[in-house]
Structure 1
Amino acid sequence: MLAFGPVPAGGSPIYPMPDPDPFFLPPPDLAARAPGEVLAVRPMPPIAIFPDAAVVLVKFRSTNSAGEPIAATTTVLRPANARPDGPLLSYQHIINGLGAKCAVSHVLYAPDPNLALRESLLLNTILARGWSVAMPDHLGPTFAYGAARLGGMITLDGIRAVQRVPELQVAASPVALLGYSGGGMATMWAAAMQRSYAPELRPIGAAAGGVPMNLVKMVEGLGYQRHPAFGLALAAAIGLEREYPAELPVSESMNASGLAIRDRIANSCTNDILLAGAGHNALDLAASTSLINDPAARKVVEDNSLELYDGIPSTPVYEWHAPQDTLVPLDSIATTLTRYCAAGVPVRSELYDSPDHMTAEMLGAPAAIAWLEGRFRGEPAPSNC
């Protein structure tokens, strides 16, 4: 993990700028609400890249990593051909961001040609099947990038909330989960936590690709070498500090260069984060590496590593990745899936010959959707355990 030693004071955690839209504010009685309880519903304008879908934003009560109540949001796309209690897919978007503008609820309305191409191809394929799609802002209100356990709880509470909105007509819908990379991490944490956190939910399948299943190994791999994606490791350190400020005081331990880059990306999304971190490593931004031996700091990263979490999904799992992927620790994927198989979970794992982490998403997504379609039809889940 990123490890920084003590340096000048003044490096308290930096949180994202508040969202200017009052819809995202928590209600004063938030603590009295139950996880998954609907706090507000807002019909949204149509989205050009999804011409046949109604859009609804749902605010709900969820829980952060300290067990405290938070207000979270999910955006629902309901296609015109959706039938009452038809399939509901919780799609965990890749959110490599630290600011409100990176949230799915905002990005869907941003003029981003890359999003338009990637998301229109994937999601319109799903919507054409008549599936309703819920897309949670799974990093939470402080954009705690890297806080994977948080993403699992928000995903599950988002499903609870969407099924409680009468006009969406999904109260008795079969539910599945899908995500890639950071979205896959939220997907798999939701699947692994469901038995204990939301036992009343009965997901029929979870499909996830390119999942970082061990943040300790991942951040160590990115942190101490000059990696093109080092910015993601830095963003994870910033995001985890937001969620665990006492246990992981990263900002207190940064040198002047580290704090400058941290401030630069505190509200940034993927491209700006990668640009700011390119050519750096952890040693460039730290006074020392003493925090690496701090038990509380290391526990934070371990507690957000799925490989080290003992929860077992109650639903079949489809997993895909590229064997050439240098971003995520592949041995952790194998270890985690082996443990699920040993516990009796039907697991289908597939490899895609991709030159990089992101290309594998689009190569594997069609088969993942086909696998989910089989689950919605009630077919037995295939397994290659």
Structure 2
Amino acid sequence: MLVQGIAVAAALVAVMAAAPAAHAGAIYPVADPDGFYYAAGNLGGAQNGDVLNARQVPSPWAGATVWQLLFRSTSSTGVPIAAVTTLISPGPGPRPLLSYQPFVNSLGLQCAPSHALFDGSLKETSAFPLLLARGWAIAVPDHLGPDSAYGAARMGGQITLDGIRAVKRFAPAGLADSPVGLAGYSGGAMATGFAAAIAPDYAPELPIVGVAEGGVPVNPGKMAIEAGDSPQALFGLGFAVAVGMEREYPAELRLDDSLTPFGFWMRERMANSCVDDIISVGANHRISEVFHAGAENDPVLIRTFHENALEIVPELIRQPLYEWHGGNDQVPLGLAQYTAGRYCAAGTPVQFDVIPGADHGTAIFPGAVNAMNYLADRFAGLAPPSNCR
């Protein structure tokens, strides 16, 4: 504790030596040096899901072909954006198409799946050979968008759906007639859940046959408030959500008036961080260290967070859903169960499994095995199970 106190004190001295104006406003990640990620002048005239650029890249998976597609999507505020998905296929379609949204939970562009798939930092890729062996094609979108706006889950859902559209419109893949499944865990489940919920209005043409999501933070803002002003092991992730949301809503959401000197330091320190670094930097810190008292009552903050909270939004998942959660998860089980209950009440067949004794880190893999078997049954056209009450 003494070492931690010294580190915090040193950070405070450093930030107080600099004028806060040097850090004013949203801090965006360092630009990606790869020009592929930037759309040419055709962005405004394109439709959501239109392919703007494509390239084949070396495959780490034997027998699979890998493309990266740049496509048109839309930000939370309706601005056209260019986004990327990575398509991994064991061969030309038609074949089942799984859109998998990883738990990126990051603020740096180098952490995006289109990079992390190939540098060994995306842990979930260990399951991909098993999915390819089933004959599935896998689309992995950079669902945090071009500014790595972690927490902007509605935009993540839009990018996910437009990425599927792009894959289906990409003729060399032969997937135009493929059935679609959605899957994701933790931060990836936020994008997955929103993609499923908004699909009937946003992309009604997509044949989504099933959804699998685990460890879903259905309301990150409520989670932070309910945790109170106590040290939290995963505090960094909650703070990173605020930073990402400020990026997505820069004209509306300004953290400058709410941040303490240490909050200014932490925002800048995390601006290009991947998930492990974010967790490490924020570990065992608390709200009062980074935000002034009462900041949680800002009506703009509340509105933007509510727009990205699956617990609250009016859109409901209508497709057959498998959901799992650790019994000892730091992400509240009760909130996830309540939200799943909203889907049940609307008539959605939901199979909700609790992994006994598992926390947020250990629940992913046992649940993922069940999730993939569940989606295999949906691709096969079998009737979905449900334990709705």
TM normalised by structure 2 equals: 0.92
1:39 & 1:83 partners in 2: Cα distance?
Answer: 21
2:75 corresponding residue in structure 1: 64
**SS class of match (2:364):** helix
Q: Is the 8 A contact 1:194 1:314 kept in 2?
A: no
Q: Per-residue CA shift, 1:307-359, capped at 9, x if unaligned? A: 10111223111100112112x22222122111111111111111112431021
**SS class of match (2:88):** strand
Amino acid paired to 2:144: L
1:84 & 1:198 partners in 2: Cα distance?
Answer: 21
Q: Is the 8 A contact 2:92 2:173 kept in 1?
A: no
Specify whether residues 182 and 366 from structure 1 end up closer, same or farther in structure 2 by C-alpha distance, changes over 3 A only.
same
Matched, 1:151 2:156: yes
1:111 & 1:318 partners in 2: Cα distance?
Answer: 28
Decide which of 290, 311, 314 is 1:310's aligned counterpart. 314
Structure 2 unaligned blocks of 5 or more: 1-18
Q: Is the 8 A contact 1:37 1:160 kept in 2?
A: yes
1:3 corresponding residue in structure 2: none
2:310 & 2:248 partners in 1: Cα distance?
Answer: 17
1:354 & 1:271 partners in 2: Cα distance?
Answer: 23
Decide which of 128, 134, 144 is 1:129's aligned counterpart. 134
Q: Per-residue CA shift, 1:14-63, capped at 9, x if unaligned? A: 0001100000012223111111111111101122xx22211100110001
Amino acid paired to 1:316: P
Decide which of 370, 378, 382 is 1:367's aligned counterpart. 370
1:255 corresponding residue in structure 2: 260
1:52 corresponding residue in structure 2: 63
Shift of 1:83: 5.3
2:57 & 2:235 partners in 1: Cα distance?
Answer: 36
Decide which of 354, 358, 363 is 1:355's aligned counterpart. 358
Decide which of 162, 169, 172 is 1:167's aligned counterpart. 172
2:302 corresponding residue in structure 1: 298
Shift of 1:202: 1.9
Q: Is the 8 A contact 2:184 2:212 kept in 1?
A: yes
1:222 & 1:22 partners in 2: Cα distance?
Answer: 42
User: Structure 1 vs Structure 2: percent identity of aligned residues?
Assistant: 47
Shift of 1:256: 2.2
Q: Is the 8 A contact 2:327 2:358 kept in 1?
A: no
Matched, 1:271 2:284: no
2:13 corresponding residue in structure 1: none
Decide which of 224, 241, 245 is 1:240's aligned counterpart. 245
Q: Which moved more, 1:308-317 or 1:55-64?
A: 308-317
**SS class of match (2:376):** helix
2:94 corresponding residue in structure 1: 85
**SS class of match (2:315):** coil
Q: Is the 8 A contact 1:11 1:254 kept in 2?
A: no
2:120 & 2:197 partners in 1: Cα distance?
Answer: 35
1:110 corresponding residue in structure 2: 119
Q: Higher relative contact order by CA 8 Å / sep ≥ 6: 1 or 2?
A: 1
Structure 1 unaligned blocks of 5 or more: 1-6
Q: Is the 8 A contact 2:75 2:81 kept in 1?
A: yes
1:369 & 1:19 partners in 2: Cα distance?
Answer: 33
CA RMSD of aligned residues (A): 1.5
Q: Which moved more, 1:170-179 or 1:304-313?
A: 304-313
1:145 & 1:159 partners in 2: Cα distance?
Answer: 20
Q: Per-residue CA shift, 1:65-89, capped at 9, x if unaligned? A: 001100000001111xx45211000
Q: Per-residue CA shift, 1:237-289, capped at 9, x if unaligned? A: 10000001233211443222222221111011011111111121121123x22
How many residue pairs match? The answer is 369
Amino acid paired to 2:57: M
**SS class of match (1:307):** coil
